[in-house]
Chain A
Amino acid sequence: MTERRLEGVGATPTVGLGTARWYRPVDVTDLGEPPAPESVDTPAERERFETAQTEAAAEIEAERERTRERVGDSEAKVFDAHLQFLRDPQIEAGVDEALEDGLPAPHAVKAAFEGPIAQFEGMEGMMAERADDLRDIRDRLLRLLTDSGRTDLGDLPDNSVVLAELLTPSDTAQLDPDAIAGIATMKGGRTAHAAIIARSLGIPAVVGIGQALEAIEDKTEVVVDGEAGVVIADPDESTRTRAKESTQTSVIDESVSTSDGTEIEVAANLGTPAEAQPAVDQGADGVGLFRTEFLFQDRTEAPDETEQYEAYREVCETFSDCDEPRIVVRTLDVGGDKPIDYLDLDPEENGFLGARGIRLSLDEHAELFESQLRALLRVAATTAGAGLAVMFPLVSTVEELEAALAVVDSVADELESENIEYAIPELGVMVETPASTYLADAFAERVDFLSIGTNDLTQYIQSAQRDLDRMSDYQDPLAPAVLRAVDRTVQAGHAGGAWVGMCGEMAGDPELTELLVGLGLDELSMSAVTVPDVKNAIRETDTEAAEELAESVLAVDTLAEVQELL
């Protein structure tokens, strides 16, 4: 059989090979003729609608949480939009009017959505995609009202390529990224929700293929090339081989070295344990920054030691198939901009220049710090926890560091006396204040590693608050002052025998990888999605050329000249 190529719009820079599975949701809009108005019990129908609306809201909220956990806050936001549409006064008035006219609830819903859907269909560009959102919400209500079953997208066999007319946000929320080799849809654009989710989950996707897609039958073998924007049915041997090769190069599971053999650790930044598996899938060597704030936020009291122990162990275990993974856990880093109800933080007093990070852990929240360290030292004694490392945030004096290390010692003594197994993990300092860059040599003598947090470091070195738009010109980590601070930290860290990593956003930009290698960083930690790109960039880097680049960048005095050199 000869292969067939279908052109569409590539939505991800990845390629997948798998078996076609058509997703054809039941058409819930086919309601038939409404019964005669006099036979309809309008108050009962109104109640039916209200019940469906409540159930729909609960479903949307659950999908929002699932998407938030798996993908992220901003992608989950589309479900907030759905909740707003669901309770829109104009839609509710439309339903009410149709009910008053004697229509039963399903017909009333269909009628109320008709006008708005037509209005959005007539608009251009991204606004036209709102029509898809409205259809998604309408169909959800109709499905609940008519008790139609839901086609289960969460239960596909491994290596499925999902073919569909369109995937709505609610469809996409069900997808299991592990089972999906690709997505190909007839409609939709690069900015459609499904395309965005596919990108963040690393699922190869081609959208906007048109009617031609219908020619591909269920169970056909297909290649989805999200980079070139083509779908190839019945691929011939050479296409399959190419697809398999590019599937493999898109994620590099092993550790990587520069072209001349300098190994650089590429790790992921995590905000929750749920992000660990996607990071492994993207080929992360370990975790360079595990933020622990999630354990403490959105609740009424602090988590106990056991709950923390489980969460830290879960992340270590997720990485246990990797080769000697290092998992860097940062102790609680809160301040006035990251409020936690039961900690009673004041925006002023605990602001960017106030009591936050380690300062709180050594003072009024010493108990939280101790219970966190107890949990961590216990995990370090487990097999999976062998690569655990603990990092202290916002350290700006040697006294603070020594105080924190003393707490580690006292917690260890305590565990010893209680006969509980523990181990002292690698210990390190997050370098994010100007003071810590000047003291990097003193820190390096006392700990195993330093990790540069470029987001806060840029804010403090440039004296420009992160959340102020007007200061955005000052917030470029390529500013000469910041780069010199990074250089100084790496040199001082190495001189003191510590390894030096970077866990700010800068570390995840593949265009800056050569510079960072040249500056001498041993580890780069980033959002999981950028791990493959950075690994590829490292392989293409020659250390000597990178060092020359770093030298020339450090020699110029303005941001414009730095950008020119890159």
Chain B
Amino acid sequence: MERTLTVVPEDGLHARPAATFVETASNFDAEITVKAVDGNRPAVSADSMLGVTGLGVRGGDDVRLVAEGPDAEAALDALSAILSTPEDELDDMELP
């Protein structure tokens, strides 16, 4: 199961949004990877902070999420929501 979407937080997946992203990803059983669509970097595991921040993804970039496992769909929903929320509204989000 996969999903491609555009990253909304203006500064991309730097410290704060990435921490939320990685923390959420590690709460699911599904194996999840993330890749910058335009970059030549390989896909990284969504529960690795180094991997996720190392993608260098900025606001407006497209990313592809791939998830395998029983709760793959829920994981993709939650992670898409994080990537679609402006950084200053992230704190108010309800996360699984």
Contacts and interface: CB of A to CB of B under 8 A. Distances in A.
A80 B23 contact: yes
B77 to A, nearest CB: 15
Contact of A88 (B50, B56, B88): B50
A120 B15 CA distance: 12
Contact of A116 (B50, B86, B94): B50
Given A77-B16, A81-B16, A191 B11 contact: yes
B38 interface: no
Contact of A89 (B47, B88, B90): B47
A410 B52 CA distance: 58
Interface residues of A, number: 28
A84 interface: yes
Nearest to A91: B50
Contacts of B6: none
A540 interface: no
B33 to A, nearest CB: 13
A89 B45 contact: yes
Contact of B49 (A85, A119, A126, A469): A85
Contacts of B12: 126-127
Interface size class of B (residues with CB under 8 A): 20 to 34
A193 B14 CA distance: 12
Contacts of B22: 84
A78 interface: yes
B19 to A, nearest CB: 4
Given A74-B91, A191-B11, A130 B16 contact: no
A467 interface: yes
Nearest to B44: A90
A469 B89 CA distance: 9
A396 to B, nearest CB: 24
Contacts of B92: 467
B88 A74 contact: yes
A133 interface: yes
Contact of A73 (B11, B18, B54, B91): B91
15 contacts: A74-B90, A74-B91, A77-B19, A81-B53, A88-B48, A88-B51, A116-B54, A124-B56, A126-B14, A127-B14, A127-B53, A127-B56, A129-B14, A337-B94, A469-B84
Interface of A: 73-74, 77-78, 80-81, 83-85, 88-91, 116, 119-120, 123-124, 126-127, 129-130, 133, 191, 193, 337, 467, 469
Interface of B: 11-12, 14-16, 18-20, 22-23, 45, 47-51, 53-54, 56, 84-86, 88-94
Task: List 9 A-B pairs, minimum CB-CB distance, nearest first.
Answer: A84-B49, A81-B19, A81-B15, A80-B19, A77-B16, A126-B14, A88-B50, A90-B50, A85-B49
